[in-house]
Amino acid sequence: MEKEKEYKFTYAWCEKEQDLLTPLDVRDIWRQGDIEPLLQCPDEQCRKDNPGSRIIPVCCNPDAPCKKMQPYFRTGPEHPHSDSCGYAELAEATRYVMTHKNIFIDDNKEANLLRELEGVPDTSLLADEYLTIYDPQKELSEIAREAQRQRRLGKSKREALNWARASVPQKTCSLKKIVEMCELLDATKERPLVPLALPGRTSATYLSAFFRLPKLQEDFRTSYIFYGRAIIEKMQHGYLVKYCDPLRKYHPDYPDIRAITLIDSSVCKKRILQTLEEFSVTGETCCVYTFSDHRLNESTCPVSEMRSCVVITPKASDAVVIRKTCVKQL
């Protein structure tokens, strides 16, 4: 990596959390703990080779948010990386592709990385695909395989990596990142045109991937990110999400049926639990997004005051996002 330049990173390692974090994760941790977490390179060997090197969070301070820039990580000459660090190489390739999009666009017309968008100027943050489980190391491996293919086509090592970065779809398992990107994209001009693949559904967009819970019907089995207004109540072993609006189309026998989500504290990430706790204490209405399944519980609703209800069950422990308000849809 060229020592005089700074590069953006998508992930960073946090020793305290023992986890790879996104900039949005760091913003939440900072807000809830009132202290900037110490971050290092996501590459384990690079951390061992450069124990004093740090990843710097930018626009992650919740008390000083950036108006026109999304949170991101950076590295620079004061924080070196190993020559073999795959994340540093990827960051360098991303920097080049972002400033030379015209070179790659004809061969990668559907790549979100190469789009020019008013709502999301930094398209390196705009995922092409949401997955419930995703190891960033797999992204490096996928890009490395594509770079090898490009080398066989006659490109230099640097050119091959740049072309691989431009052509391999950007993936994330952060539902919060997906929701924030949706909020930033223009509802009429950008969301319907920007693709977003979901598990079991490859042809959605940042508009069609989202579905308002009040419109849900029992026979709907297409993959969606469901969302709706809700209140949060604390329970003995977790939290209860009670959606505010009835699902009038869900089943003809239950025109006023309500939906709930049960959150188990033992499997949910700390960052999500802290947000749930805040809303349970204030009693404020919020908006809950989940990538989930749904089922009708007739006469067996787990909530005592409800005889029947629709249970919305997240497909992953962190496939839940809580916001103050819901995204405006067409």
Residue pLDDT, tens place only, 208-239: 999 999 999 999 999 999 999 999 999 988 99
Whats the size of the chain, residue-wise? Answer: 330
Lowest mean pLDDT among 8-17, 75-84, 293-302: 75-84
Task: Decide: 306 and 270 in contact? Cβ < 8 Å.
Answer: no
How many whole angstroms separate alpha carbon 121 and alpha carbon 42? 25
Q: Which two tokens stand for residue 94?
A: 């991303």
What are 86's strand-pairing partners? none
Judge whether 309 and 257 are in contact, CB under 8 Å. Answer: yes
- For residue 313, list its beta bridge partners: 293
Window from 139-148, 222-231, 298-307 with minimum mean pLDDT: 298-307
Q: What is the mean pLDDT of the chain?
A: 92
Residue 51 has pLDDT above 50, yes or no: yes
Instruction: Return the minimum-mean-pLDDT range out of 39-48, 51-60, 69-78, 123-132.
Output: 69-78
Of the pLDDT bands very low, low, confident and very high (cuts 50, 70, 90), residue 34 is low
Average pLDDT over residues 275-299: 95
* Measured distance CA(182)–CA(190) in Å, rounded: 9
The pair of structure tokens assigned to 204 is: 């959605």
Is 171's pLDDT higher than 90?
yes
Tell me the C-alpha distance between 59 and 68, whole Å: 10
Mean pLDDT across 119-128:
93
Give CA separation, 249 vs 246, 261, 295, 296, in Å: 9, 19, 14, 13
**CB neighbour list of residue 122: distance below 8 Å, 6 or more residues apart:** 69, 70, 72, 98
CATH architecture of 212-323: Beta Barrel (2.40)
Average pLDDT over residues 38-62: 91
Domain coordinates in residue numbering, the chain: 1-99, 100-208, 212-323
Summarize the confidence of residues 51-74 as an average pLDDT. 86
| Percent of residues, the chain, with pLDDT higher than 90 | 72
Residue 183 confidence (pLDDT): 94
Confidence of residue 67 (pLDDT cuts 50, 70, 90): confident
Question: For residue 2, is pLDDT > 50?
Answer: no
